[in-house]
Structure formats: structure tokens, C-alpha cells
Amino acid sequence: MLIIWYHRKERLGVQRILHDMNPAVKLAIVTGSVLVLALFFNPWTPLFFFIGIVVIQAFFSRIAWKRYVLFMLPFVITAAGYLWTTVVFAADTEGPVIWSWAGIDVTAEQWSRALSLAFRVLAFSSVSLLFAFTTDPVKFALSLMQQLKLSPKLAYSMLVGYQFLPVLREEFIQIRQAQRLRGIGTETGLLHRVRNIRRVLMPMLAGAVRKAERTAFAMEARGFTGEPRTVFFEPVPLTRTDAAMGMVFTGLLLASCIGGVNLS
């Protein structure tokens, strides 16, 4: 039954819903969710929201979960760091002690505040990764111009900068390898490594400036003026799916807020 349900869900395109959503709508949902969650200081609200986001992502997107866990790992470590430092170094230690460990007395207020901070990190990171993993950069730039009326100069600059990232990574590796062949950058120690990074960054910066100039000339040669447009080659419309998913996310946020307030 589970296999039949999975194939039926795949055939209906359910797993493409988050990928096909309008990126401007997703950006508004992510921004609004983060701002609302920042107003709640109980641990339950961000925990419920985090669980809900993972469930939504599991049902309505195609995600490589190994890659997702790998990207989520630094945020989990950060959340654990917030939990530990808030418990150990909290300034306000008044109230009943709920447990002690290694000479550290933890009050209910300390524990609640530490959990709240840790779950906030998980909630913010999960909704941010949802946006990053399900959004096409080109479609995102087009939606910024069409729905949010962003200047084409800014939108295309962001898109070009994003596409430069893998190129800069390859150039970084090539410069490091070329310098090592010449006997540069083989020293060990923190101070030498800092100097070596400076030797790599300077030619990278020069190369990036040259690439940016060539890209600007190419765009001008193809008629790009930076003027706002009303007609686009690839329109990114608002659909009923955007409205439905907006209601799903709003319902999750409301349920998390109400549930968190009632349990705290």
C-alpha cells in the first residue's frame, strides 16, 4: 500500500509542488515565518514549526535527504552550542532547580530559554533550507522582477553573482595548485596559512573583476539596459497552488504559535 501510495503521489506531481511554487511567495512565507517566530520565547512554538516544515518538505518536494542532513548538521551543532552555553553561562539563575550536573544547577527558566534558542536555530535553518533546496535561481530572479518589482540591474546582478560561486571555487583550487607547483603556500602554521590565503585572494579578485566586465559587456551587447520591463520572455505567474501552499504554511505557523502558548 505504501509503494502504491508513493507512486500515485509521484504521478500526481505532488513532490514538485514546492519546486513549482512562485519564489516570491516562498520568500514572503520564509520572511514572515522568521519574523513571527522571533516574537515567541517558549520552546514549543519553534519545535512544532520545525517538525511541520520537515513534514511538508517530505511530502511536497524531491529532496536528497543525505545532502539535506549534511547541510543541516552545522545548524544542529550550533543549536547544541546555544543550548549548552545558555544552560551553563546564564546570567539569571533564580527559580527552582530542576536538575544538577557536575556542579551546575539548572533552573526551569534556564532550561526553557536554552531549548527555545536551540529550537529557534533549527526552525530558522529548516525553513531557509526549504527555500534554498526547492528554488531555481533563474526563476527566483524573474519573480523578484515580476512580482516584487525589483530593478533588473539588481536582480541580474544577484543571479550573475550566484552563478559565479562555482567558478570562483574552481579558480581558487587552480590558483592554489599553481602556487604549490612553484613552491608557494607549502608552509605550515596559522600565520603562514593566513598569508597564503591573501596570496590566493588577490589573483581571484582580479579574475573576478575581469569576468564581471566581460559579463557586463556581453549583456549590453544583447540589448540589456537595466530599464524596468512589463513583458518577459519567461513569465512566473501566481497560481492557485501558491495560494493553497500559502494557507498550509500559515496554518502551520498559527498552529505552532497557539500550541506553543498553550503548553508554555
The predicted-structure confidence for 212-228, as pLDDT tens digits, reads as follows 888 888 888 877 777 77
Single-letter code of the amino acid located at 71: F
pLDDT for residue 126 is more than 90 = yes
What pLDDT does 141 receive? 85
The three-class DSSP label of residue 105 is strand
Specify the range with the lowest mean pLDDT, choosing from 73-87, 117-131, 147-161, 178-192.
Answer: 178-192
What pLDDT does 10 receive? 56
Contacts of 134 (CB under 8 A, 6+ apart): 18, 19, 21, 26, 57, 61, 63
Specify the range with the lowest mean pLDDT, choosing from 14-18, 202-206, 229-233.
Answer: 229-233
Specify the range with the lowest mean pLDDT, choosing from 13-22, 43-52, 70-79, 116-125.
Answer: 13-22
* Predicted confidence band of residue 44 (pLDDT cuts 50, 70, 90): very high
Q: Compute the mean pLDDT over every residue in the chain, rounded to the nearest whole number.
A: 83
